[in-house]
Chain A
Amino acid sequence: MLVLLILHLLAALVAPLLVRWWGPRACYPLALAPAAAFGWALARTPAVDDGGAVVETYPWIGQLGLELALRLTTLSWLMTLLVGGVGALVLVYSAHYFRRESRGVARFAAVLVAFAGAMLGLVLADDLLLIYVCWELTTIFSYLLIGHSTERRSSRWAAAQALTVTTFGGLAMLVGFLMLGGHAGSYRWSAITAAELPGGAYLVTAVVLILVGALSKSALLPFNSWLPVAMAAPTPVSAYLHAAAMVKAGVYLIGLLAPVLATVGPWRPVVVVTGLATMLLGGWAALRQTDLKLLLAYGTVSQLGLLVVVVGAGTPDAALAGAAMLLAHALFKAALFLVVGIIDHGAGTRDLRELSGLGRRAPLLAAVALLAAASMAGLPPLVGFVAKEAVLAAFTDQPVVLAVLVAGTALTVAYSARFCWGAFATRAGVEPTTVGRIAAPMLVPPALLAGVGLVAGPAAGILDGLFRPYAELFGEVGKDLALWHGLTPALGLSALAVAGGAAVHALRGPLTPVLARLRSPVSGNQGYEWVTRRFDRLAIEVTGATQRGSLPQYLGTILLALVVVSGGAMLAARPWRHRIALWDTPLQVVVVAVIAVAAVLAVGARRRLTAMLLVGMTGYGSAMLFVLYGAPDLALTQFLVETATIAVFVLVLRRLPERFSARPLRRSRWVRRAIGVSVGAVTAGLALAAAGARRDPTISDAFPQLAVSEGYGRNVVNVTLVDIRAWDTMGELAVLVVAATGVASLVFERSRTGPRPQRPEPPTRAQRPGRPVWLRGGATLHERHRSIVLEVVTRLIFHTVIVVSLFLLFSGHNAPGGGFAGGLVASLGLAVRYLAGGRYELAEAAPIGAGTVLGAGLAVSVGTGVVALLAGGSVLQSARIDLSLPVLGEFYLVTSLFFDIGVYLVVVGLVLDILRSLGTEVDRHIEAAGRSGGGLVVDKRGSP
């Protein structure tokens, strides 16, 4: 069975290709997929006709206990035959329905085959969750098929409505499935039937939810409105989805579950009431239609109502009748849809007021249609008659239901007559319709379907034997399927219905105003529209109320939540209980005082530079606190970062206005400060609470010992970064690379990988021979921007700085330092080169792309981890290599040094990228703006 599903999938995948080669004719080879399913099911007939089952299971998602469980029983065998057989015929039909130049045929063919596969999966699945997955797949494919004419608004609307309604039902059904499966401990339907059912309201809820899904899929009240609207689809789609396959999914599900669930409280009332009401309303509405396709659509709604009543009734006789009806309906309704398609295709209209004389001009077509319609009306000796007899016979003990069924059947007879009359009668005053030559492959499928209906009637005995195993799931079967039962009440009622239907059709003239007036006051469409409008309104109200578009407002809300929630928890912990020291050293007090003053002043500062320097002061103060706390690595990094931050800030601030813009909102300022103070108080309280909250010894107690034994280093912080928690560092490196890329892409208008700036003029040495050149890029700067002192100092210290950075890198394993600190020092060296000599000097100092450095750093770090893995260790595990060199003597190397080198490179690359972007590139912007007389205009050509 899985092979069949895969076959459909493959066919769907190659369909676009085939259509490109062969046009709509590609549907012929594609029809092989559903035909294979048909043939396979036919070959399995002996296996299921004695009540047996064909079972296949494949492991799928082991953790969820989910497997691909497929099971072929009588009901699914019947559905497989219908899905495969009608599917193949519809594809053959489609090969001629579409013209070569029609748009979207490739998508149509692919989706139709995929739909056939999903439908096949649905009827073969034994697992409720698998049923759900296939169910939703059919919903999605039907969305694509209904919306075939993407350029037509009505088509898109119809597709969206079908999708919305059936997905809603599908979700309800899923919940029902989960409830059932959760209780039984298995989602295999065959296992659930064996398990004990849950009791009471739990089961009732589950059943109602599942019924909502089934009824919405089969377009029963109150979900019926989507089906007539879905007639916007091409006719082959209507024939397949809305007659034979998809709408039958709900009926199938009801039929599958009925043997077990029909006895549950609400099942029968829901199924019978909605089914009968749908049958009557659909039949009545069908009499009103002038569009033949819509007539059939409402007829389908009516028949689905009948099917749901019969299949859901839960008695053996009804089940037998239901199976026969399922078959009969698929045969005649698909045939009739295909006939309408031929008329529409040939005559260009399917409005019965514009058709005339078609019966005489296309006798073969008329014969096929009459045969199918007679089956629909339930005339002997067709299969429709057999099914209808069985239905009426099954309900003889329920007079009310029976009466409604007879009335509904009469309506069916009436609209069947209306269909034939509408399509083929000759109308006075209407120009005779011409349909041209009908291609044989278009006529054969409906003829075949109608013919099977003719053959199956007399062969009712065989059908009886085939369907009996399904009916026996409900108990002892009393009646049988046959063309002739003798003079039974059912026969009399049948005759009554035919007579009534004929009378209604004969009285169609006088009935017209009644038909137009007598209708449900609220159409399903209005209901759907009302609901969707309400949802839209609700969404807009909620969004409008919560999403005001103001960043400070959002942040304020989040922070207030922090104050309330965390603040409450903090107060509950009563942090003031903890007695902690005022200070470790009086120096702490001094530093904190400086930090506090700087922070508060920064809030009120009006100039950007002032605010930035004050904030920088808090950074340096933090570094001091780190020193006092016993964290020299942190202090070193914080000092370096703070310096680099100030340098980067200055690069940008030279472009921004000197002062912050004046803020008129004085009132909100106090709100902001109030929020700030409360968040600060809560955070401080949390710090206090956390101080006293420790109960267990910290895991880092073991770190010093681990650092020496596993990481071969004495600086615990560095070993933590490059070994114990190296994965964190790896993640951080990735973040830094992303940040660098982000900076560059915000500033560069084009790729940053272009040529680096080159000095425009020859080296200055040639200009002034004899004088030493301190920085070669310096000469490119404007005289007013040059500082010879800075150039000299830079020249003198740059190499020292680089050596120091390397020293920090290499010694970091055993003493404060490491890749971060080393990289930052080197970066500051580069920054100084840039500040002293301008962008050409930077290019001299680092004649390599920032992206290259970043990439190399990341590659080295990752490579270290990979090498450790290849060497048989775990990722990023350290190893110690003892070396002996002639001059240096004995020393050892730890492999995590290479990881640290990667860190170093990434940090250098980050700063280089920032200098290139916010330095070099912004320089160019400034120069371009200067050339064009100020403003924001920038030279787009990008030449430096």
Chain B
Amino acid sequence: MTERKLANSQLGSLEYDPAPESAAVARLAPSYGLFIDGAFTDPSAHVQFASINPANEETVATVAQASAADVDRAVASARRAYESVWSKTTGAERAKYLFRIARIIQERARELAVVETLDNGKPIRESRDVDIPLAAAHFFYYAGWADKLDHAGFGASPRSLGVAGQIIPWNFPLLMAAWKLAPALAAGNTCVLKPAETTSLSALILAEILQQAELPDGVVNIVTGDGSTGAALVEHPDVDKIAFTGSTEVGRLIQRSVGSSAKHLTLELGGKGANIVFDDAPIDEMIEGVIDGIFFNQGHVCCAGSRLLVQETVADEVLRRLVRRVEQLRVGDPMDKNTDVGAINSAAQLARIEELSAYGEREGATRYTSSCVLPEKGYWFAPTIFADVAQSHRIARDEIFGPVLSVLTFRTPDEAVAKANNTNYGLACGVWSEKGSRALWVAQRLRAGVIWANTYNRFDPTSPFGGMRESGFGREGGRHGLEAYLDV
């Protein structure tokens, strides 16, 4: 059968004029100090480093490199605030501050979205519609718990832990800060937060918001810096709790370090999520969900659906539609309101994605890469799908943390479950089927903390999130998220 093509039958081929958000909305200072004891202070060694916009490699602002001595000051401030103020406030009083913070985040949402996109490289549509609203929602949600801890299922009057050291990743900078701070503060702890080296700025705007909300001095301290700052925080003897979100590699080091101490620990690490597609899946919505599952936030998502397991009977059709849809993704200027896929966060991450993708080709997978034109400056990787991937390929085993999907096939539900579970990780999985009984049957057998049915990457503060095996332990979000910050 021959095929004819309608002129312009390419999806999304209508040109959209640029629709850029204004960078001036960010109102950033040229440089930022450390937020300790309620005020911005210079780091003891007076070392600043640049925070780069990954979309054009320009410096957005400089931030302070906190030394071990600075971390010590921050922990001491948190300890003082815990002993003298925060551990003595009532739940209702703590809720008052959390509600205020949530409200101010909403009021300054546009500014925060712009800061996030400039600093991280993610599309403004995502920071505007996902990151910032969800961050506010987390503060609202845990504000509601602050005076109801007696009823959270951990016994009467559960006690807070003390000083929490919290280390967060660069993929959802403000949202991860909210995930860490909101439950910790609601439960009555004080915090020392260490943002990721490449994405400190939204946390520093959050520091301004904490001042605006008149949160008592020292309840939250924010120390910026590289891995050495994080290590100083983890090793600090006066920290009662470490909460870490990031790579499995660093998580292992932290666990080793914390292991010999009395510190409480929760880890949210990497993943290699499987999206399982049965032949009765709602095909159009499934395609969107699979695309969103791997290309949302450039694939910089620990729970990304980076492995697609598709039933053999529909594999060709699904692949054809996926490839067509990938070509349609609008890749480019993250500040453009119509951009779907933005910049890779750093040169180091780009190198890792390129390295692992090269393995995919060498090991024999078939590569489909979007023909989108990538900007010359900045860190970019065109959305990519690998078909004909085998279980033994590195791209089916290692977390790529980028816009790269590996497609594998299966014949029976048992095989789908076996393949999905054949990983060291266990963070998230998706099941796509119009048959409810099958979705439940599969979900019960998957070893992962989060299972989505007929959707993917859906987050809500009321729902617990976390992994098993090398994806870490502990839960964030929901009632369960309180447990990580209570002495239970």
Indicate, yes or no, whether A interacts with B.
no
Q: A residues engaging B (CB < 8 A)? A: none
